[in-house]
Each structure stands twice: as structure tokens, then as C-alpha cells.
Chain A
Amino acid sequence: MEKGFLPRENLSQLHAVLCQQGYKVIGPQVKDGAIVFDGLRDIADLPWGIVEHTEAGAYRLEDTGDNRCFAWNNGPQGLKPWLFKSQQTVWRGEATSDGIRFKSEQPSPQPLAFIGIRSCDISALYLQDKHFMHSAYADPWYTAQRKQLCLIAVNCSRSNDTCFCESTGDGVEATYGYDILLDELDDGYLVDVKSERGRAITAALPLQPGSQQHHKQAQRQLKNARHQQRVMPDAEQLLKLLEHLNDKHWQDIAERCLACGNCTLTCPTCFCSKQEAEVEPVSGEHHQVRYWDSCFSEKHGYIAGMQLRGDVSQRYRQWMTHKLATWQAQYDRSGCVGCGRCISWCPAAIDIVAEANLILGDDHD
């Protein structure tokens, strides 16, 4: 289908249509020095003119003063916290005179429309779908919310210094998984639509036909975004990480690694959790709560009375070899989508791409 064009002054109508159709609109905003997805009350709250500068262990926003609101690439989180919640009660128990009464925790999804999701976010979403919806035990809370998502994706017009989606095959252009796709141009937005849900929205927008100039600019921007500094080795090379389990380099990483879990919690595909039994002090009701966990936590490796990964070097090795190598057998591809969050949000400035390349060393060249 031919792409339409939405002049910039009409972007607010996209927001209005989404609200009319019953969606809660979630959009990128500047919060505490980062691009954060949150309830979007008004198009004016989008990060107009903002781009981010990233490097290993650093993230900084710059106000360029231009008239774009999607010139940035990403912030600390994408879709993950909205579907795989950081804290989820899974069941409740109450002590009664007849014994313990169990109550299940029903999902409470709502129609959510995300504006500004990127190609890498969609890849990550599909990976989380495999884990939470299409595995032997589907997750009811994830599944219920997943079915009520409307995704308005945006193609990247640039890449920040920690992006490497070109080498993982997950960017910079979104090709699937969205309802509507935008290219942000000088004077407005090229609008592509993929789904019935998307068509119901674009039908209510004052779209004009996209001109050849618009298409040319969109192509130029994608070409610009494809210039990325980091290159993740390909899937076949990554499998060779498993031949390096006894390398001294893991120890070198562990000297720097804080085992704080930031890489895993900002990673859009990491899915590990733990459960805690909690008691509500006044009512005495018991809550079984699932929390985000990390393979860097000490207790995560504690299984059946034994610590399997006592050293941080073993934990980093576990994370990297699972994410990049053994994930391939589990979910048919590497678990890395090239968003670079684990690099920029690592307080110790550890760069997974650099480390993987170092470990693979000569094998890779």
C-alpha cells in the first residue's frame, strides 16, 4: 500500500484519534535526563528537538532546537516494563479456619498505544513473545496485555554511538510487527500501515499522498542511520563463544563488573525472575510475588542447596553465552537485538560487543 503523508501540524490528530479509539497513549518523554516511555497527555510533551549521546556507561541528552520529536534512538527501557512487569503478584493465600484459601491473580490489561517504538524494540518484543506466550507455560499477565497493544513505530533517522542493530539484523528500519510506521521528515511524517488496527487509525487521519521527495528523504535518513560504530559478530561466530568457557578474559571482565544487574534489567529481551512469599502485615494475607531478577544476583545461581555460579566471572559468562550463543538453540536466534542499552547503562562501562569480539579474538578475524 502506498505510504501517506501527515504534515507535522497534524501530528496531534494521531494522538486524538488514538484517544478516541479508547487507547491509553504511551509516548517518549524527557524524564530525569533520559527518554522515558510514559502516559502521553499531549503531543507537546514529546521530546521535541532532543537527541541523546551515548557511550559505554554514559547517556546524555542534547536539545538541538530542531522541529523533530523522534530524532533520538532509545532510553533505558522500551516495551518490557509494560508487559513483563517488574513486580507481579501471581497468587494470594489467606489463612481461614478451614485452612488456606488460594486466590488467583487476574490480569488487568488495557488497550495501550505506543508511539515511537523502534525496530529493535519490535524484535525484542517478538523474542519476549516466544518466551512468555509461545513456550510450554504461557504467562497470563503478559499474554493479556500483549493482545491489547497498538504499536506506532518510527524508523531511525540516525544511530547513537552504542547502537549496533545493523549487525544483529534488527534495524534500523522496521519491517514487521507494527500497526503503523512513521518516517519523521523535515515537514511531517510518512505513514505506512500494516494491520487492520492500524488502518482503523489512519482512516481517521488527514493523510496526503507521500511525494517522491518524501520517500527520497526517508531513504537518505535510513542510509544515515546505518552508519554504526559497533559490529556484533554474526550468529555462527557467536556460537564459538562456547569454545572459550575457560578463557582468562572472563576474570578480566569480572574485575570491572559490579554484578549490579543493570545490563539485564535494561535489556529488552532478558526475562529472568524470582518469586518471594510476602505477608501483608495487617490483614495477614499472603502474596506470592514475582520480581525481575538477574543472573548477576547471588541467589539466582543458588539452586537446590548449591551455588552454581559463585564468581562474578561465571555470571558474566552465563549472561553473555546465553544471550548470544545458547539462546540460538532455545529461541532460534541470538537474544541480542543491538539496542546497546546494556552498554550505555552499565555503571562500569562494560561493552558487550567489544568483549565478545575480544573473546572470539582470532576465530572471528
Chain B
Amino acid sequence: MLQRPLKVAIHKLTSCSGCQLAFINQGPKLLKLLEFVEFTHFIEAGLFAPDQEVDVALIEGSVSTHDDLKRLVNARQRAKLLVSIGACATSGGVQALRNMADDKENWKRAVYAHPEFIEELQDCTAVATHVKVDFELWGCPVTQQQVTECLRQLHAGVKPKDNAEKLCMECKRQGNVCVLITQQAPCLGPVVRTGCGALCPSFGKACYGCFGPSEQPNCESLTNRMTGFGLMPNDIVHRFAAIHSQSPPYQQQIARWRLQDLEGSD
């Protein structure tokens, strides 16, 4: 257990900043957090000191630009431990969909008025692709509970506890009626990591997979089942090509059903 506050820097790469808000939105709990955490660098909260040595660097966002990569390497060098937080940092996030574009230049022209100003790396990637990551917090966005628990455990000097349980477990504990069974809805719950509190299924909606792949995800079987619900290969691609398209288990299904789609349209 550290006898002084844990020094923490929050670095933002390419992201929407939603994960940093998990700290700011805490209200009174943030004050409690400040009893054992000292933020040194946290732009959303007005603190700018990216070069200071820290105990923990929390990285939000994906590595999409040359500048992202440069700042990430710097953050890694100045931190004892590095924790990636959120979908962008753990798997590339929504913006990593561009990796799948067949004609990237066309894509860029379709989105931006002046594509010549956009300087990006070839692919948009997760933090772990570039530097050593000590722990990952999955979720889009991460929850207050996740970040607080992780920092509390690091301050106590223990390895943060991971929970990669399937979302179905939490959904059943809450007493939700399974939408896969009653609606034949393309719910990703059986292959998605817990953490959101089964938010969508508790409103009768299929899980979108904000928290990424669970432990041992059998995506092969789940997608086979989805075809039985009447989903076309392209529908299945869209289910998985969303928030965590670059996570290997989902990537595999996207490739598999894209191929099916192409073969079907021949």
C-alpha cells in the first residue's frame, strides 16, 4: 500500500473524451478518489503536464496519427504502469472501422471537406499494438466503478482484478427476459464482456457489444445461430463491425461473413 497518493496522468489520443468523463461525472465520489489519487496531467480537468513522471498513465483513445504515437511512447516512458481505458485504447474503437475500407482515399474525401489536412497513420490501432500495457479497462465508455476500482487496487499495491465474464450472467442476475430467445434478436451478450450492467437488454434491446469480447467468446456458434434468425451475412458483419471491430474474435467473424456475403452476391 502506497503511503502517498497515487500519481496519475490521463493522456488522450484519438477519442471522444467520454472515458475521461467517467472521472469528472462522479460528483462527490471524485473528492473521495482525490484522497488517494493525485492527477498530474488531465486536460479535461485543466491540468497540463504530459512530461511529468507518474505512477500510472491512463491512456484514452486509439493510435490514429503520428502525433498519437509520439505522445503514447512518451507517456509510457514516464509511467511505472500503463492502463488503457475504453474501446478506442483497447481495440481501436469506432474510428478503426476505417481500417476495413477498401479505398481509404475515397473514404476520406467522402467525410472531410479538405482531406489534404488529414494526416493519419495507415491503420487506427489499439494502444497495446505499440507499447507494453499493464492492464486494460474495456468499455465504451468505461464506467466510474471500473476506473475507481482499478485505481484503488493499484494504490493498495495489488494487481487489478479483471472481470471478463459474459454479459448474460449479469443479465440473468437482473432478471431480464432473454431477447435472443423471445425476439430472436441478434444480441451479442453471450460473447461480450460484462461491465455495463446489461443496460440494453434491460430495456428489451439486443446488446451492441460496447465492452468488447468476453472470456472464451464462441462467436462462430453465435453467428451460426443468427443466420437461423434470418440475418443475412451482411447483417452479421454490421453487428460485429461497430465498436470493437478490430478485436481478433470479432474481426474473424467480420472476415468470415464478408466472404459469405461476397460469395452470395456472385
Residues of A within 8 A of B (CB): 31-34, 36, 57-60, 75-77, 81, 86-87, 255-262, 265-266, 279, 281-282, 284, 291-294, 297-299, 312, 344-345, 347-349
Contact = CB atoms under 8 A, between A and B. Distances in A.
A291 B191 contact: no
Category for how many chain B residues contact A: 35 or more
B190 A258 contact: yes
Instruction: Identify which of A75, A255, A281, A292 gathers the most chain B CB atoms within 10 Å of its CB.
Output: A281
A200 B152 CA distance: 55
A261 B176 contact: no
A164 to B, nearest CB: 18
A348 B229 CA distance: 12
Interface string B153-193: 00000000000111011001111111111111001011100
Given A59-B181, A299-B165, A32 B32 contact: no
A344 B32 contact: no
A33 B184 CA distance: 11
Given A257-B218, A259-B218, A260-B189, A265 B177 contact: no
Given A292-B173, A297-B165, A255 B221 contact: yes
A348 B178 contact: no
Given A282-B29, A345-B181, A258 B222 contact: yes
A259 B149 CA distance: 27
Contacts of A60: 182
Given A258-B191, A279-B152, A348 B169 contact: no
Contact of A32 (B26, B166, B177, B216): B177
A31 B228 CA distance: 25
Contacts of B144: 281
Nearest to A281: B29
Interface of B: 26, 28-29, 32-33, 144-145, 148-149, 152, 164-166, 168-169, 172-184, 187, 189-191, 204, 215-216, 218, 220-222, 224-225, 228
B261 to A, nearest CB: 23
Nearest to A347: B180
B143 to A, nearest CB: 12
Contacts of A279: 149, 152
A141 to B, nearest CB: 15
Which of A257, A260, A297, A348 has the most chain B CB atoms inside 10 A of its CB? A260
A33 B183 contact: yes
Summarize B's interface: helix, strand, loop or mixed: helix
Contact of B177 (A34, A58, A291): A34
Of A87, A258, A279, most B-chain CB atoms within 10 Å: A258
A258 B29 contact: no
B181 A298 contact: no
Contacts of B225: 57, 347-349
Contacts of B175: 36, 77, 81, 86
A312 B182 contact: no
B29, B172, B224, most chain A CB atoms within 10 A: B172
A292 B29 CA distance: 28
Given A59-B182, A258-B191, A348 B221 contact: yes
- Which 6 pairs show the lowest CB-CB distances between chains A and B? A33-B182, A86-B173, A265-B172, A260-B190, A32-B177, A260-B168
A347 B216 contact: no
Contacts of A291: 173
B181 A292 contact: no
A294 to B, nearest CB: 7
B177 A33 contact: yes
Given A34-B182, A258-B191, A347-B222, 9 more contacts: A76-B177, A258-B168, A265-B168, A281-B33, A282-B28, A284-B32, A344-B181, A345-B178, A348-B190
A265 B177 CA distance: 12
Contacts of B216: 259, 298, 312
B218 A31 contact: no
B204 A32 contact: yes
Nearest to A57: B181
Nearest to B184: A58
